Structure 1
Amino acid sequence: MLPRRRSPFTATLRTLTALAAVVAVAAGCSATPATPDPPSPAPDPLQRFTSQQLSWGSCDGFAASPDVANAYRDPSLECAKLTVPLDYANPDGRTAELAVLRAKATGQRIGSMLVNPGGPGVSGTSLVPSLVQSAPDLLQRFDFVGFDPRGVGVSSPAIDCLTDAEQDEYRAQVFADPSPAGVAALEAHNKEYADRCTARVGADVLANLGTRDVVRDLDILRAALGDEKLTYYGYSYGTSIGTQYAEAFPDRVRAMVLDGAVDPTQDTVESNIDQSAGFQQAFDAYATWCTTQPNCPLGTDPARTTETWLALARPLLDDPVKTGDPTRRLSFTDAVTGVQQAMYVRQLWTVLSLGISQLAAGDGSLLLTLADLYYKRSGGHYDNSLEAFQAISCMDNTRVTDPAALADGVEKAAPFTTTGRGPVAARDVCAFWPVPPTTEPGRPDVPGLPPVVVVSVTGDPATPYQAGVDLAADLGGRLLKVDGNQHTAGLQGNACVDSALTAYLVDGTLPGDGTECRL
């Protein structure tokens, strides 16, 4: 049998006790070893953050872009900055400040409901003004609290990788050459982006932007708001925040709605291919609808709509068309992005048809406007949402080791996005990122988590329906199935969905097993 090892502390304690006994006997006294006092608990290194008092005031200057600034002038809204460690491994070091916006409960208050609109990279404060309008029943019972995650919106330090002119330049470039020279050109482009981001933001900041750190920030915000447990509503990427919070702090969750689920078990290749397939499904649904409408620009045969679209879009590879702005033209990439933007909300289908009709007539104005909406470009300026998307994605996603598998998979999954010249199997921006990711894919482990609700839309283009089915099962939660064609569904005016979610968030009443709503 091997001898047991003793800790140095235990060995020293026994030696001192024995010496005390010898001294006592030598002095003619009986030896009664004293019991040492238990060690004091280690001080909480985060206490100065969790106990901070938020200084609420005007929301002037908290809007991430000028086009939403008017909503922040509502006197019922109040804003503050939350201080968090930049690096949780060094809580006494550099700090970050997160923008926080609150609309206070109008009735018998339960607590705060923290919300995130997704992205990653979208300002969380921007969600609250719209929720005030769309969910008045919930506002009676909860303070709605949105926050700009670290690096996002007006939080600081901010992710700012490109100037407005550089953003326009990057968008205008199209990489459609699958040859070794074409691959090298795209990789040089991607490396340049990563190098600029590193130089302008700093590798130390980039290293601490992942969802792993956002979850810690969320818990500090919960504590600073005085809530014993978290009530949370996350859309799209916001479901990743919710899932990782549930893993880290399952005993601190009161209620959680995850709407438009991101599958935490998928690697980067699987996720991108599944999302591409989701957009093709959404395009097919739009195109089938379009063929039933008068003057559909894609014709009357649903089986040929992708072919018809590509006949209009592929000439843009070599000859971008004019737009209403004489300094800008519509590229192939922006045309595809404009179509994808219209897939998020069915109400944009009519606008998309008009945009494709304009393209057929040689005018790219409306499709460029849709693409600008995706890129958050307004008045010639960009917010930092797409830069933040890239930076956070590089910290959350596994590195792609087989670019050909990804390029081939996306090409097959989403024919309406293809150039007809073959996939370009280049390494992406994250391959050149200066720091490794901080999140790995895996099935959530959430012992003690109370029941959560996962909302999943059957025709969601960005977060496919099955991901929601799987996440609900993995978290031991309840699935709310929604039939329709859009990205996410809750607190957007659908009575069936919203009444089920309100009952859950207020009273903890889960939707009935098998509940199904329709948009």
Structure 2
Amino acid sequence: MPSLSRPCAAALTASAVLLSSVLAGCGGGSTDGDPTAQKLDWQDCPAPSEAEGGGTAPSPLPDGDAWQCATMKAPLDWSDPTGDTIDIALIRARTSGPEDRRIGSLVFNFGGPGGSGVSTLPAFGEDYAALRTRYDLVSFDPRGVGRSAGVKCENDQQLDRYFQQDATPDDDAERTAFLNNTRQFNAACEKNSPRVLPHVRTTDAARDMDLLRQVLGDDKLHYFGISYGTELGGVYAHLFPKNVGRAVFDGVVDPTQTSEQSSLGQAAGFQLALDNYAEDCTSKAGECPVGDSPQNVKDRIAALLKDLDKRPIPGIAPRELTQTAATNGIAQSLYSKDFWEYLTEGLQDAYDGDGRILMLLSDSMNGRSTDGGYSNIVPANVAINCADDKPRYTADYVQTKLPEFRAASPLFGDFLAWGMVNCADWAVAGAADRPDVHAPGAAPILVVGNTGDPATPYEGARRMVDALGPGVGVELTYKGQGHGAYDSKNECVQSAVNDYLLRGKVPAAGTVCS
């Protein structure tokens, strides 16, 4: 069962689309010489593929301009840059401002790992209208994701069963079933994606970004990374410090942690977000419909999950809302304060025996559309994490860690602890215990931490600043809720980020927005 580690903003868009409906390739061949000499053929964008999340072609921008898509050829194996290639899917919106004011391209990665930039950037495009006045907005499907040699594992029907499993086993029989399902999923990835699995590490994606910089004609990479995108940006800065332009890291992954420490930190982060939700619901003038005190809200949720472990309730037919799906859905709703109302409504319905809203939230986390098709966000997430992370945790080891995880979060502890076995028996060895983001000589990077972030806890921002090295990372704090800060639309955060990206004005280190 995939863990909640390094989730992406793309999931938030998927949730909004799913809830509104209820509530109102791998290229062959070889390069001919220098891959940086290729010319991109920008065309009107097609509808996203199922691997990218499906749907319709992106609507025109507010000024009527069309989104443009292209394909870049990148080496499959960066140790053999003139060998076989893969296609990297790209999208852009040309700058809305005069050409003589254009700075260059601003490349986005929205996280995951596994999120499709090609489908996500148009969904958030209006949020970056100010940045578009001086940049072409550009994003991409990283290798292994979407149309960029997307990792394939199980089919839709198998994934339905996979996500219905009990991911918090309570006895030997449940533990055996859970581990068998994990092995079957991993074996399917190896069977269906053998060519690409060894080449989806973050270091590979960082090299793709430097190729993209050159193909776009930019001397420096101007970059906006969110969630896992901050890790990718940090790795890029380590590999290519002299090529860093103006860069923003938002919703910051802690680069000093092992995958175990990251999961434990997330348990505490999601628990904090749940505490904040419960406090918010019960502090309003009207009655909180899911509890009469913060502790009562959490006690009722815990009781619901305990009941679902024994007796699932109807969800989206023919599937039922299981304990695992409900936990996943609750976690998804904590990514943004905007979703707290859906959590309240979903809990109300679940207490009355209707699990559809919580299942919709869970489906969006897992990349499932309303027609039953899955994007490849989960296979890509597992493949990239397992290629990056050296540790391989066993079930026996997880068992010894359960008390520590439960202390961090009575609600999410077991779920996140058992997610650590994802990479057991993975076909490719993990690269390192931690990513290397040390980037001496790089230009200033604005590192934005959110004190209420459930997925990438606030402490990671300071550790990213320290790891980047003296004179590189500049920390900005947002005292808010949700995953990331810029898309909260907080005026202080957006003003600081925009001043830096548009005018090169670096905010004072330690700036606080609330």
Structures share a fold, TM > 0.5? yes
Is residue 54–residue 82 contact of structure 1 (8 Å, CA) maintained in 2?
Answer: yes
- Counterparts of residues 236-385 of structure 1 (less than 5 Å): 236-293=227-284, 294-323=286-315, 325-378=316-369, 379-385=371-377
8 Å contact from structure 1 (residues 407, 423) kept in 2: no
1:94 Cα offset (Å) = 1.9
TM superposition shift of 1:424:
8.0
2:299 aligns to what SS in structure 1? Answer: helix
- Between the aligned partners of 2:418 and 2:493, the Cα distance in structure 1 is 42
Q: Does 1:414 align with 2:409?
A: yes
In the other structure, the counterpart of 2:480 is 484
Distance (whole Å) between structure 1 residues aligned to residue 306 and residue 59 of structure 2: 40
Cα offset, 1:320, TM superposition: 0.8
**What is residue 28 of structure 1 aligned with on the other side?**
none
> Which residue does 2:459 correspond to in 1?
466
CA deviations 1:69-100 (Å, max 9, x no partner) are: 34479752111001001111122322110100
Alpha-carbon offset, residue 129 of structure 1: 1.7
Which residues of 2 match residues 417-436 of structure 1 at below 5 A?
417=412, 428-436=421-429
Aligned 8 A contact 2:269 2:455 in 1: yes
Paired letter, 1:190:
T
CA contact (8 A) 2:110 2:225 kept: yes
Aligned residue type for 1:501? V
**CA deviation after TM superposition for structure 1 residue 61, in Å:** 4.1
Q: Which residue pairs with 1:56 in the alignment?
A: 42
Instruction: Tell me, yes or no, if structure 1 residue 193 matches structure 2 residue 185.
Output: yes
Q: 2: CA distance between counterparts of 1:230 and 1:177?
A: 45
Aligned-partner Cα distance in 1 for 2:32–2:495 = 38
**Distance in 2, Cα, partners of 1:409 & 1:336:** 19
Report the equivalent of 2:25.
none
Compute the RMSD of aligned alpha carbons. 2.2
Residue 199 of structure 1, CA deviation: 0.3
Following TM superposition, by how much is the alpha carbon of 1:400 offset from its aligned partner in structure 2, in angstroms?
A: 3.4
Structure 1 residues 304 and 61: CA distance shift in structure 2, 3 A: closer
In the other structure, the counterpart of 2:176 is 184
The aligned residue for residue 497 of structure 1 is: 493
Once residues 359 and 273 of structure 1 are traced to their aligned partners in structure 2, the CA distance between those partners, rounded to angstroms, is 28
User: Would the aligned equivalents of 2:226 and 2:249 in 1 still touch at CA under 8 Å?
Assistant: yes
Q: Aligned residues, how many?
A: 469
Q: Which position in structure 2 is the counterpart of 1:69?
A: 57
Q: Which moved more, 1:233-242 or 1:183-192?
A: 183-192
The structure with higher relative contact order (CA 8 Å, sep 6+) is: 2
Contact 1:297 1:356 in 2 (8 A): no
Identify the residue that residue 147 of structure 1 maps to in structure 2.
Answer: 140
The 1:514/1:138 distance shift into structure 2, 3 A limit, reads: same
The residue number in structure 2 matching 1:42 is none
Aligned to 2:153: 161
Q: Structure 2: which amino acid aligns with 1:168? A: D
Per-residue CA deviations over 1:485-513 (Å, capped at 9, x if unaligned) read 10001155322111111111122211123
The question of whether the paired residues in 2 share the 8 Å contact of 1:458 and 1:481 is answered with yes
Q: 1:175 to 1:248 in 2, by over 3 A?
A: closer
- Which amino acid letter does the alignment assign opposite residue 135 of structure 1? Y
Question: 2:130 matched to 1:137?
Answer: yes
Calculate the TM-score normalised by the size of structure 2: 0.87
| Amino acid paired to 2:460 | A
- The CA deviation string for residues 24-82 of structure 1, in whole angstroms up to 9 with x for no partner, is xxxxxxxxxxxxxxxxxxxxx99621121111112114452233534479752111001
Distance 1:423 1:486, change over 3 A: closer
Tell me whether 442-451 or 65-74 shows the greater mean CA deviation.
65-74
Distance 1:62 1:185 in 2: 35
Moved more, 71-80 or 407-416: 71-80
Q: CA 1:423/1:509 → structure 2, altered by over 3 Å: closer, same or farther? A: closer
2:20 paired residue number? none
Question: Among residues 437, 451, 456, which one is paired with 2:430 in the alignment?
Answer: 437
State the SS of the aligned residue for 2:481: coil
- Equivalents in 2 of 1:309, 1:281: separation in Å? 15
5+ unaligned residues in a row in structure 2: which ranges? 1-30
Structure 2 residue identity aligned to 1:417: F
Q: For structure 1, which runs of at least 5 residues remain unmatched after alignment?
A: 1-44
Secondary structure in structure 1 of the residue aligned to 2:92 = strand
CA distances 1:300-330 after superposition (whole Å, capped 9, x unpaired): 222333222111221111211013x331211
Secondary structure (helix, strand or coil) at the match of 1:428 reads helix
Bigger radius of gyration among the two: 1
8 Å contact kept, 2:47–2:55: no
- Of 96, 109, 131, which aligns to 1:106? 96
Alignment match, 2:76? 86
What is the CA distance between 1:278 and its match in structure 2? 0.1
Task: Assess, with a 3 A threshold, how the Cα gap between structure 1 residues 191 and 341 changes in structure 2: closer, same or farther.
Answer: same
Code of the residue aligned with 2:477 in structure 1: it is K
TM-score (norm 1): 0.86
Shift of 1:115: 0.5
1-structure distance, mates of 2:400, 2:40? 48
State the shift of 1:441 in Å. 1.1
Determine the C-alpha separation between the residues in 2 that align with 1:115 and 1:409. 36
Q: In structure 2, how many angstroms separate the alpha carbons of the residues matched to 1:125 and 1:52?
A: 20
* Equivalent-residue separation in structure 2 for 1:126 and 1:305 (angstroms): 36
| Change in 2 beyond 3 A, CA 1:353/1:426 | closer
Counterparts in 2 of 1:425 and 1:147: CA distance versus 1, 3 Å: closer
Residue type matched to 2:36 in 1?
Answer: T
The farther-off stretch of 407-416 and 391-400 is: 407-416
